[in-house]
Amino acid sequence: MPTYTALTTLTGRKEAAALGEAMERLTPEPTGVGVFELEDGSGLWEIGGYFTEAPDQAGLALLSELFGARAFVISELPETDWVAKVKRELAPVVAGRFFVYGSHDADKVPDGVEPLLIDAAMAFGTGHHGTTLGCLKALDWLIGQGKAKYRVADIGCGTAVLAMAAARTWPETVLASDIDPVAVEVAEANVRANDLVGRVTCVEAAGFDNPALAKAAPFDLIFANILKGPLMALAPELCGALALDGHAILSGILVEQADDIIAEYARHGANLVRREDIGDWTTLILCREL
C-alpha cells in the first residue's frame, strides 16, 4: 500500500497547531498529522500529514494560503520493510566503554564493554544521534578522569540510555525523568530489558518538578539532553540542584547555540569543562566549582 506525505512550514505555534487541526478535516483523511518545532533556531514549525491515498492537492493549497504557510510538498513514499530497515541502519554504537545495541545485534556484543540494550521506539535516544552519542562519550570521559558520581539524575531521559549508562558505572540508584508519559513507559521497559530494575527509577516530571527529584538533590551528575530553549529556562533550577564540584552533561544543542548555553550556565555558577561537537550538535560538560 503506498503512503503519501504532505509537509509544510510556518511561523508560530498556535498557527501551526490550527493548520494541523484543519488538515485532519481533509478528504481523504490523513492517517496522522504531526506538528513539530524545527530544532535549527529558525522559529519555524513543520506540519506534516500521512495519507494512504493521494491527498487533495487543491485542498492543501487552499490551507497553505489561508494559514500563510509555504506550499505543501507532497511525496509518495516507497513501500518499505521497516523491520529490515531498522536492523540494517541501527547498527551498534560504540561510545568509549559503552556499547549500545538493538536486540537484533545481541550476538555482536564484545567482551569488556558496558552493554546497553535499546531497541528503536517512540522515545528519543538510541545512541545514534549526535546528542546521545555525545553524552555517552562525555560520561566515558568523566569516568576516565576518576570522577565518581553517586547521585545522578537524567532530565528529559527519553529511552533512559544515559541513566542506565550511569547505573552500569556507579552503585547508587539513578533517577530518570521525562515530561512525556510515553517516554517514561519506554524508559521503564528499557530498564527491565537491561536488568536494572531497582537501579534506575523513572518518574514523570517537567524539569525537576517531582518530589523524588527534590528529595534526592543535590546531584553529583545531571544529564539534560533536551533543546536550547528548555536548557536556557532550566539553568537556574539545574544549577541549584547541582552539588558543589558536581557536573552537568548538556546536549540537544546546535553548534551555533553552544556559546549562549555556556554563558547562561556560567551566570548560575556552572562553568565549561569540556566541549565536543559531533556533526551539527554540541555536548557540554559543566562543573559547579568549589
Choose between 95 and 264: higher pLDDT: 264
Q: Do 61 and 161 sit in the same domain of this protein?
A: no
Mean pLDDT value of segment 188-196: 94
Looking at the fold, whether 168 and 259 belong to one and the same domain comes out as yes
What pLDDT, on a 0 to 100 scale, did the predictor assign at position 42? 78
> Is residue 103 one of the residues assigned to a domain?
no
- Greater confidence (133 vs 153) lies with 153
Range of the domain at 51: 3-77
The answer to whether position 37 is within a domain reads yes
Judge whether 99 lies within some domain.
Answer: no
| CATH number, position 66 | 3.30.70.260
Is the domain of 277 the same as that of 206?
A: yes
135 and 71, same structural domain?
no
**3-state secondary structure string, the chain?**
CCEEEEEEEEECHHHHHHHHHHHCCCCCCCCEEEEEECCCCCCEEEEEEEECCCCCHHHHHHHHHHHCCCCCEEEEECCCCHHHHHHHHCCCEEECCEEEECHHHHHHCCCCCEEEECCCCCCCCCCCCHHHHHHHHHHHHHHHCCCCCCCEEEECCCCCHHHHHHHHHCCCCEEEEECCHHHHHHHHHHHHHCCCECCEEEEECCCCCCHHHHHHCCEEEEEEECCHHHHHHHHHHHHHCEEEEEEEEEEEEEHHHHHHHHHHHHHCCEEEEEEEEECCEEEEEEEECC
pLDDT of residue 35: 87
- Among 22, 44, 77, the domain-final residue is 77
Domain assignment of residue 93, yes or no: no
| pLDDT digits 0-9 by tens, 168-183 | 999 999 999 998 888 8
Residue 280: per-residue pLDDT: 83
Task: Indicate if 158 and 263 belong to the same structural domain.
Answer: yes
pLDDT, tens only, 77-132: 766 554 455 455 456 788 889 988 887 777 888 898 998 988 765 444 545 457 88
**Does residue 28 fall inside a structural domain?**
yes
Q: Is residue 54 domain-shared with residue 146, that is, in the same domain?
A: no
In a domain, 31, yes or no: yes
Which residue is it, cell 503519501? 4
- Please say which residue of 77, 92, 108 terminates a domain: 77
Question: Do 42 and 128 share a domain, yes or no?
Answer: no
Q: Is residue 97 part of a domain?
A: no
Boundary residue ending a domain (77, 93, 114): 77
Tell which residue, 198, 178, 285, has the closest CA to residue 242: 285
Q: Are residues 139 and 277 in the same domain?
A: yes
Same domain, 9 and 138: no
Instruction: Kindly state whether residues 35 and 153 are assigned to the same domain.
Output: no
- Count of structural domains, the chain: 2
CATH assignment at residue 146 = 3.40.50.150
Tell me, yes or no, whether 8 lies in a domain: yes
Same domain flag for 66 and 205: no
pLDDT at 86: 47
Whether residues 226 and 167 share a domain: the answer is yes
- In this structure, of 63-72, 113-122, 208-217, 241-250, the range with the lowest mean pLDDT score is 113-122
